[in-house]
Amino acid sequence: MIVSALQMQPASCNKEKNLEQISQAARSASATGANLLVTPEMSVTGYAIWNDIRRMAEPRDGFISAALQKLTREMNLAITAGMPELDGGEVFNTAICALPSGDIHFYRKCHLFGADERAAFHQGAQPSEIFEVGGVKAGLLICYDVEFPEWTRTLALAGAELMIVPTALPKSAANERVSRLMIPTRALENQCTIIYAGLCGSENALEYQGGTCIAGPGGEDLARAGAGPALITATIERQETSGGYGDPYLNDRRPDLYHALVNTDSDRDV
């Protein structure tokens, strides 16, 4: 299975221009034989659009979903993108994965980062469903979600061999370590491949880290972008995502010892 990840500079509040960037990347990815293209968090609208979130938000059956479904059929590859989703009176930070079959999967970000996100979005409350891309079982996370080992392990235990993670990582020394150290670690400890696709450049005074990478189940970099716009591609061998690769962490777990992880009374007040 061939997978691609787009690192892009967003056009703030310009759906058509961002979709054109995604379309160009899809054409390039399709030409390499890719089965999947992953684009960043809020890639269709821009991320740092706090005063315009509600104006940019759409329901699941809106323009953005239709445009992605049309593109994925034309290019014959799955495409993941991000948008603000409007559901009733609430707005969610949502990732979409559209498949050439016509199926479409949605995931709402569950771990919101910082005051701006918490003011703009309602938090999700469900893990991603597991679905197949190119014969590989996949699940969705968004940015900050992947930094919680409990949440990535939840997907791994549900059968995910591939974790698809759109991100919009703000630039900082600490966040540089997320891409360089944490993403490979999450892949290694869950014996999966992680596609981490980020925004780059700047938007409305927010500078992005980039950090786009594809990490294999041994914690190795399969592909990694530099600082600017890029399309990276890697080949995933399914036998490397289906267990038996490196240390058997999932098989050797001791759930009987981990009661504190699900005992909310033991959590610290924060």
In 141-229, beta strands by DSSP E = 162-167, 193-198, 202-203, 206-207, 213-215, 221-224
The number of beta carbons lying within 10 Å of the beta carbon of residue 207 is: 14
Residue 180: predicted pLDDT: 96
Tell me, what amino acid is at 95? Answer: A
Q: What is the mean pLDDT of the chain?
A: 94
**What is d(CA 15, CA 78) in angstroms, rounded to the nearest whole number?**
19
C-alpha to C-alpha distance for 181 and 185, rounded to whole angstroms: 6
Q: Please give the backbone phi and psi of residue 4, each rounded to the nearest 5 degrees, phi first.
A: -130, 150
Render 222-240 in DSSP notation, one character per residue: EEE--SS-EEEEEE--GGG
- Does residue 49 sit in helix, strand or coil? coil
State the catalytic residues.
41, 109, 143
- Annotated domain spans of the chain: 2-266
d(CA 11, CA 22): 12
Give phi and psi for 167, each to the nearest 5.
-145, 160
CB-based burial, 97-124: b 16+ in 10 Å, e otherwise: bbbbeeebbbbbbbbbbeeebeebbbeb
Select 2-266's CATH number: 3.40.640.10, 3.60.110.10, 3.30.70.100, 3.50.30.50: 3.60.110.10
Cβ–Cβ under 8 Å, residues 158 and 127: yes
| Identity of residue 195 | I
Six token digits for residue 205? 């005074």
Q: What is the mean pLDDT of residues 14-24?
A: 98
pLDDT band at 208 (very low <50, low <70, confident <90, very high): very high
Report whether 9 contacts 207 (CB < 8 A): no
Q: What's the pLDDT tens digit per position in 30-76?
A: 999 999 999 999 999 999 999 999 999 999 999 999 999 999 999 99
Residue that the structure tokens 């033991």 belong to: 266
Q: How confident is the model over 125-132, as a mean pLDDT? A: 98
Burial of 248 (0-12, 13-18, 19+ CB in 10 A): exposed
Q: For 130-165, how does the pLDDT look when each residue is reduced to its tens digit (9 = 90+)?
A: 999 999 999 999 999 999 999 999 999 999 999 999
